[in-house]
Amino acid sequence: MQLDLLYFAWIRERIGVPRERIETQAATIRDLIEQLRAMDDWHAAALADLSAVRVALDQELSDLDSPIAGVREVAFFPPMTGG
């Protein structure tokens, strides 16, 4: 399946692009992250500390074990705080 990946804030800065499209057979977000980490050092560095990364599937906040079947867009961003 093809997925559109979006990166925000320091994650985007570490990876070096705001978005990309990839082909994956990953079943969950965690599987997808493992695939991304294996791609290159930039992805590995940006996704090294999963406690500092949040993920949304088709604009809905999701946990790392969420399935990605049928998903079109995955967004990665740092935790946000309210004010």
Q: pLDDT tens, 16-45?
A: 999 999 999 999 999 999 999 999 999 999
pTM: 0.92
Asked whether residue 81 carries a pLDDT value surpassing 70, the answer given is no
Q: What is the pLDDT of residue 80?
A: 77
d(CA 5, CA 11): 12
User: How large is the average pLDDT for residues 48-70?
Assistant: 96
Q: What is the pLDDT of residue 83?
A: 53
